[in-house]
Amino acid sequence: MVLLVLGAWPGLRAITPRLLLAGILVFSGSLYTLVLTDVGWFGAITPLGGLCLIAGWASLLWGPKPC
* pLDDT single digits (tens) 17-52: 899 999 999 999 999 999 999 888 888 999 999 999
Distance CA 2, CA 53 (A): 12
Distance CA 18, CA 40 (A): 27
Determine, yes or no, domain membership for 2: no
Containing structural domain, residue 42: 14-61
Determine, yes or no, domain membership for 4: no
The torsion defined by the Cα of 17, 23, 25 and 30, in degrees rounded to 10, comes to 180
Determine, yes or no, domain membership for 55: yes
Determine, yes or no, domain membership for 37: yes
Determine, yes or no, domain membership for 50: yes
- Look at residue 34 in the predicted model and tell me its pLDDT: 92
Determine, yes or no, domain membership for 34: yes
pTM of the model: 0.80
Q: Report the domain count for the chain.
A: 1
Nearest Cα neighbor of 10 from 47, 64, 56, 54 is 64
